[in-house]
Amino acid sequence: MSHARQLRICFGRRWLNPRELAGLKVGSVIDLAAQADDDVVVSVSGRPLAIGKAIAIDGKLGVRVTEVVAEQAEPASTEMKWTSC
């Protein structure tokens, strides 16, 4: 019997100051420091599982896995630091 697990996909982070937070409204755009072709981290229960690239699949977002990582390991192909989203 298998149990489904929720994956978390981290595309990037951005810190907003209180004024920026208060100014958010429908249609606001929050830019991230990440580039469109940067790696994304796939994690399960806060632990890194894989590295990948964001892709479009029939108008939806997806991730193409480029590297599967061992638990608590540093990724071999990127300098990305492990942090939770």
Structurally, the chain folds into a number of domains equal to: 1
**Does residue 19 form part of some domain?**
yes
**Does residue 11 form part of some domain?**
yes
Could you tell me the pTM of the whole model? 0.65
User: Quick one: pLDDT at residue 37?
Assistant: 83
User: Quick one: pLDDT at residue 78?
Assistant: 46
Q: How many helical (H) and strand (E) elements, i.e. helices and strands, does the chain have? A: 1, 4
Q: How many CA atoms lie within 13 A of 67 on its CB side?
A: 15
**Does residue 32 form part of some domain?**
yes
Domain that holds residue 16: 7-68
User: Quick one: pLDDT at residue 82?
Assistant: 52
> CATH code at 13?
2.30.330.10
The residues of the chain scoring below 70 in pLDDT are 1, 70-85
User: Quick one: pLDDT at residue 5?
Assistant: 83
pLDDT tens-digit readout, 52-72: 998 989 999 899 999 998 654
**Does residue 83 form part of some domain?**
no
**Does residue 2 form part of some domain?**
no
